[in-house]
Chain A
Amino acid sequence: EPEVTQTPSHQVTQMGQEVILRCVPISNHLYFYWYRQILGQKVEFLVSFYNNEISEKSEIFDDQFSVERPDGSNFTLKIRSTKLEDSAMYFCASWGATEAFFGQGTRLTVV
C-alpha cells in the first residue's frame, strides 16, 4: 500500500539552528500538508501546498517557516531559526480522493 514517508524520525537541534524536515508524499497526490503536534496537545494545521505554491497557511506558519517541493517528489519544511517552542512532532500528509495519508512524523527537539 502506498505510504507517506518522513525523514528523519527524530532530530535534535540547537536553538537558533536551521532544520529541514523531509517528506515523500504518495506519488499521484496533488495536495500536501504539514501539521505539528506539541507533546500532549492536539494536531495543528501549518500549511497546505498545491501546484507548487502555498494554498493556505495558519498563523503558526510565520516567516520562520517555509515549504518547498524541490524535485517533484520530496516535500520539505524548513524552520530557519529554531526556538524551544518549535519542539513538536511534525507530520506530513498528502491528500487522496477522500482522505489524508499521514507520515509517521518527525520528532523535533530543540535544545
Chain B
Amino acid sequence: SQQGEEDPQALSIQEGENATMNCSYKTSINNLQWYRQNSGRGLVHLILIRSNEREKHSGRLRVTLDTSKKSSSLLITASRAADTASYFCATNAGGTSYGKLTFGQGTILTVHP
C-alpha cells in the first residue's frame, strides 16, 4: 500500500500567501513528520506530530493530524520566496520499525516574490 501521499503535487503561490499541503496514509502510525528538501539537497526535518496529537505549531508552520481520516496537513503562513522547496510527509509505524520512515511523493512549492 502507498503511504504518505501528498496533494497537491505542485503548488505555486505569491509571497505573503499561505500554503497548505495535505498528506494521506493507509496504515496505523506512531508519528508523522514533515520534511523539506531544497532542489538536489538533503532532507531537513520540519516538525513531528504524534498519533495522539491533533495539532502542532512551530514558527510559521502548523501541522494537523486526523487519525480517523488518516490524513495530515502542513500550513505555511506568510510564505517567503525562501520557502520554495519540495515538502514531504513521512510516517513512522513505531514498534519493530523503530525510526523507519515511509515517505510520500512530495509537494513542490514555488513561492513567487
Contacts and interface: CB of A to CB of B under 8 A. Distances in A.
A35 B35 CA distance: 14
Given A56-B96, A56-B97, A95-B98, A42 B45 contact: no
Nearest to B41: A104
Report whether over half of chain B's contact residues are helix, strand or loop; otherwise say mixed.
Answer: strand
B46 to A, nearest CB: 10
Contacts, number: 62
A101 B44 CA distance: 8
A55 to B, nearest CB: 8
B104 A101 contact: no
A95 B103 contact: no
Interface stretch (A43-51, A63-71, A72-80): A43-51
A50 B90 CA distance: 21
Interface in B59-113: 88, 90, 96-106
A95 B98 CA distance: 9
A33 B42 contact: no
Contact residues on A (Cβ < 8 Å of other chain), bracket: 20 to 34
Contacts of A99: 33, 45, 48
Interface residues of B, number: 24
Contacts of A105: 41-42
A43 B42 CA distance: 11
B110 to A, nearest CB: 16
Contacts of B90: 43
B43 A43 contact: yes
A102 B99 CA distance: 12
9 contacts: A33-B100, A42-B88, A43-B43, A45-B103, A56-B100, A93-B43, A99-B45, A100-B45, A105-B41
